[in-house]
Amino acid sequence: MRALMGLIKDRHGTYYAQRKVPERLQEAVARVLNSEKPKQVYLKKSLGTKVLKEANVAATHVLADFNRTLASAETLLKERPVISSLTDAQIKRMAEVYYASLLAVDEQERQEGTGSEPIFQSVAAQLTAAGIAFNTPFKVGELPEAGLSDREVFKREHALAEDLPDAMLALAKGDITHVRFGLEELLEEFQLNLDPKSQSYRRLGMAVLAARVKALKDIARKRSFLRTYAVERGDGMRCPP
């Protein structure tokens, strides 16, 4: 029995279905799949078997899924043709939206928490129940009634202390790959399919990168003010040394 076209074996002998994505569809396919990659060069999926007959049967369904993905990418290209330029007003507006989104996320976390505290408390409870000793400078046993826990405050400050210098260095170097994911989300939000090799893509990248640096600096200033205010009231948070 011959293997269907597009079937390959990995080093363990398991069959995979694979299809090369046409170059003109690679960016669109990445968007259809919600991939973190800017381009999807191959579609590939394990068929979960080392038996050729079973692989051929499974491959018919997988290859049909590949065809649907490529068709969706074709539709996406028709709906959003590739453009090579943006106006100054468009770039300014998109950078402003990106800046505002960073501030909004920071404020939402301050009011509602980051979502990581329940996980931390759950793990701590499981370790305690299992009799496993562990050390943590943070309070264990209850969730904050609202807002951030001391642990979340500390983690956010640590992340900001790393993110801001990294963003400033990227801006100094003109390294727009630092905000590539944000750029793709922004273009998706504005329903634009901008050629990543175009001058406008680079200009947008630099504007978004500058907006990131500005937002992180403003967030740092706001947090500093809130810490000072909390200390003056006598209810400042405690963080490990």
How much of the chain exceeds pLDDT 90, in percent?
44
Domains contained in the chain, number: 2
Residue 83 β-bridge partners = 194
Going through 72-214 in order, the beta strands assigned E by DSSP cover none
pLDDT at 240: 47
List the domain range (segments joined by +) for residue 105.
88-233
Q: 182: closest CA among 163, 169, 198?
A: 163
Coarse DSSP helix, strand, coil percentages of the chain, rounded to the nearest 5 percent: 60, 5, 30
* pLDDT for residue 94 is more than 90: yes
Please give the pLDDT value at position 231: 59
Closest by CA to 164, choosing from 221, 224, 216, is 216
Query: In this structure, are 66 and 13 located in the same domain?
Result: yes
Whether 240 is in a domain gets the answer no
Same domain, 96 and 185: yes
Query: Does residue 168 belong to any structural domain of this protein?
Result: yes
Prediction pTM value: 0.65
Amino acid identity, residue 213? V
Which of 22, 44, 79 marks a domain boundary? 79
The DSSP letter of residue 9 is E
Give the residues across from 46 on adjacent strands: 16
Give dist(CA 141, CA 231) in Å, integer. 25
